């Protein structure tokens, strides 16, 4: 009797995980394509779930949106690091990193910007955003700043401050891209110049070999 109850409990938990994962997958696709205006009914239809299950597993549509946005920007950051890993110079490294974040990773970065703005109005969502920013900044220390330090470039501020400056510049560029509807494909050099200026990296470092 007890074993049957345990099996039933395991089956219920597994079914719950599958439903939650299905909602996350459907919400990720729809939010990346349409932003936070997607209705819950559309997400649930794509996931084969019911609207009350969004409330049960996530608390609200807004919390689901924030969770999706945080996961998306972390994936974009990791993909950008992988894209830039084979670069031979600082300039090439930065172009690949920025190009990935504002190109293929652009929708994910823009989604996270939306989530940050939403959090400003919904304080209960702040913790997830804060944790994600902390992870991005920590990753930035390794992905960009320490790479530049290998060239002999001297930091003008603490490594944590420089990592925050990098992501602040990326978010600012993403907001401009969203506002103007323009692609950064033709002006990647300008975007990289913004990053260099934000971090106060001298042009002489650009051609340094990694």
Tell me the CB-side half-sphere exposure of residue 210, using CA atoms within 13 A.
18
pTM: 0.85
pLDDT in tens, 153-204: 666 777 778 888 889 999 998 888 777 766 655 477 788 888 888 877 777 7
Q: Give Cα 60 distance to the centre of its chain.
A: 21
Looking at 9, 44, 59, the residue that finishes a domain is 59
Pair (89, 45) in one structural domain:
no
Task: Determine the Cα–Cα distance for residues 125 and 20; give it in Å rounded to an integer.
Answer: 19
pLDDT in tens, 110-154: 999 999 999 887 778 899 999 999 999 988 777 666 676 667 666
pLDDT in tens, 51-104: 999 999 999 999 999 999 999 999 999 999 999 888 888 888 888 899 999 999
Pair (52, 120) in one structural domain:
no
Pair (69, 137) in one structural domain:
yes
Pair (11, 84) in one structural domain:
no
Looking at 44, 59, 74, the residue that finishes a domain is 59
Q: What is the pLDDT of residue 164?
A: 87
Domain that holds residue 168: 61-210
CATH number for the domain that contains residue 53: 1.10.10
């Amino acid at each position: 009797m007890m074993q049957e109850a345990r099996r039933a409990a395991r089956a219920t938990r597994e079914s719950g995980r599958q439903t939650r994962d299905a909602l996350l997958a459907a919400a990720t696709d729809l939010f990346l394509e349409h932003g936070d205006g997607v209705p819950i009914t559309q997400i649930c239809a794509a996931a084969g779930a019911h609207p009350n299950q969004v409330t049960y597993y996530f608390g609200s549509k807004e919390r689901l949106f924030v969770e999706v946005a945080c996961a998306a920007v972390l994936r974009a950051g990791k993909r950008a690091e992988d894209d830039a890993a084979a670069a031979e110079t600082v300039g090439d490294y930065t172009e690949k990193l920025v190009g990935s974040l504002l190109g293929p990773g652009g929708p994910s970065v823009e989604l996270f910007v939306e989530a940050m703005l939403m959090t400003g109005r919904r304080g209960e969502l702040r913790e997830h955003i804060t944790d994600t920013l902390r992870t991005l900044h920590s990753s930035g220390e390794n992905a960009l700043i320490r790479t530049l330090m290998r060239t002999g470039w001297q930091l003008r501020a603490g490594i944590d401050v420089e990592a925050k400056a990098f992501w602040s510049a990326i978010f600012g560029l993403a907001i401009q891209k969203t506002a103007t509807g323009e692609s950064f494909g033709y002006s990647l050099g300008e975007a990289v110049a913004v990053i260099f200026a934000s971090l106060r990296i001298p042009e002489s470092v650009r051609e340094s070999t990694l």
